[in-house]
Structure 1
Amino acid sequence: MDTREKILQAAAQMLAEDMTVKLSVRAVAARAGVSTGSLRFHFPTQRALQDSVLARIYEHLLPGDPIRDRTLPPRERLLNCLRQVLAPLGTDQDARTAWGTIYRSFIEPEPTEPVRAAYLAHQREAERLVEHWLTVLAEEGALPPGDHTRNVRFLLTVLNGLSVERALPTGASVLIAETETLNAAVDHVLSAGPAPTAGPTRP
């Protein structure tokens, strides 16, 4: 195993034990059994390390890249990407366990700087993932080119809401209602496109 891989594995283990852990250079280097200089060589900043390890975790949880499966139309591919994010949560007890972990990590504790930084790192990686989907669709002409920030935030809000719904004791079939919501969200994004770029103001 090369040094970079050792560092990523050590950092991933630390995050698995505590989602709000501060991935300090000294702590991660000690866990990986490498020098701090070696760690800095591969990851010059703490944010570079944190973003890299979260990207690795997302790749592990969400293998493959359904957005590039051109055997399906763009609408079905975007739907599959959204479903792939929700699938690891499971339903009922699994979903409650997952949300319990999130609550204990980011909602229950005081919003200290380490807690805030840990949450924002997860949020950045989620935004990067959805931005990637929309950029691929824009490159293919399924979406107009432009700023996708609005649609990224919209889709993440939908995913967050649906993940909470999976953990709640609802009476109806959660997955049927979820499918309807995902279809509506994808239809909205593909019809609305990105936010228009602001032009020069007239006097």
Structure 2
Amino acid sequence: MTDQNEQLSSRDKVLLAAMQLIGENPGAKLSVRAVAARAGVSTGSLRFHFPTQRALQDEVLTRLYDVVVSEERIHDRDVPARDRLVDCLRQVVAPAGVGAGAREAHRTVYEQFIASEPTEQVREAYFALEREGRRRVEYWLTVLAQEGALAPGDTSRRAKFLLAVLDGLALERALPSDGSILQSETDTLYMAVDAVLSAGTS
């Protein structure tokens, strides 16, 4: 452990260790022993802060999303609702980049979740990732609904639609292109957001 890590609380050491392990292997189950060993804390200390593996996994994924995806943008009422939602959604696909970065991200997803029949551990890891992504999008839609920018409706269904669009856009970033991927992506995001914002208003 570095001097800087020594200054962290045991809870933060656990979270940092778990984030490192997920970064190294997104499909890995967060083993209590492995995380505790990486963090340099006892398993009892880890269990004190996170009584279940799901509690630990959910907290880690929330923290990772906080780094990648800002919650602040959706609250900026000086910007039209559709632009805010597009900006939030763009944050989800942007980190992998375009081309080589996107291909590497897809290679990791393929190897972890698709290449072979998923084990229960891999399924749990995938569902945790999917759950946190859906929670974020549902939160953004709820904020817009509370503002009156989104008609009442099935937030979960709308979030699932937007996440399917993001999956397609992320794949498109990894494929060869003869035009501007980012311009096409922007057009697609606006079409998807407009479809969601207008749902139930006609």
- TM-score, normalised to structure 2's length? 0.91
Confirm or deny: 8 A CA contact 2:144 2:150 kept in the other structure.
Answer: yes
- How much has 1:155 moved relative to structure 2? 0.2
Residues 6-51 of structure 1, C-alpha deviations (whole Å, 9 max, x = no match): 0000101111111111112222112211122221121111101001
For residues 9-48 of structure 1, the aligned pairs below 5 Å read 9-48=16-55
Which of the residues 168, 186, 203 maps onto 2:193?
A: 186
- Runs of 4+ aligned residues of structure 1 deviating over 4 Å after TM superposition are none
Deviation at 1:147, TM superposition (A): 3.2
- Hey, what does 1:177 align to over in structure 2? 184
Q: Which residue of 2 aligns with 1:144?
A: 151
Amino acid at match of 1:178: E
- Cα deviation, 1:153-181, whole Å, max 9, x if unaligned, reads 00000000000001011222211211111
Counterpart CA distance in 1 for 2:48 and 2:9 is 13
Q: Deviations over 1:117-171 (max 9, x none)?
A: 1111110010011011001111111113443011010000000000000101122
Say if 2:125 is the partner of 1:115.
no
In structure 2, what is the Cα distance between the partners aligned to 1:193 and 1:75? 16
Mapped to 1, the partners of 2:125 and 2:72 lie a distance apart of: 25
Deviation at 1:65, TM superposition (A): 2.3
Whole-angstrom CA distance in 2 between matches of 1:15 and 1:48: 15
Letter in 2 for 1:115: V
The answer for the alignment partner of 2:107 in structure 1 is 100
Aligned Cα RMSD in Å? 1.5
> Of 80, 92, 99, which residue of structure 2 is paired with 1:85?
92
Listed as ranges, the gaps of 5+ residues in structure 1 are: 195-203
**How many residue pairs end up in the alignment?**
194
Contact 1:139–1:145 under 8 Å retained in 2: no
Asked if the contact 2:113/2:126 (under 8 Å) is kept, the reply is: yes
For 2:111, what is the secondary structure of its paired residue? helix
TM-aligned CA deviation for residue 193 of structure 1: 4.8
TM-aligned CA distance change 1:56 to 1:94, over 3 Å: same
Identity %: 60
2:14 is the counterpart of 1:7 = yes
| Aligned-partner Cα distance in 2 for 1:193–1:125 | 26
Q: Which amino acid aligns with 2:59?
A: S
Question: Are residue 62 (structure 1) and residue 69 (structure 2) matched?
Answer: yes
Question: In the TM superposition, what whole-angstrom CA distance separates every residue of 1:75-123 from its partner, at most 9, and x where no partner exists?
Answer: 1100111111121121111111111111111111321111111111110
Distance 1:74 1:33 in 2: 45
Contact 2:151 2:197 in 1 (8 A): no
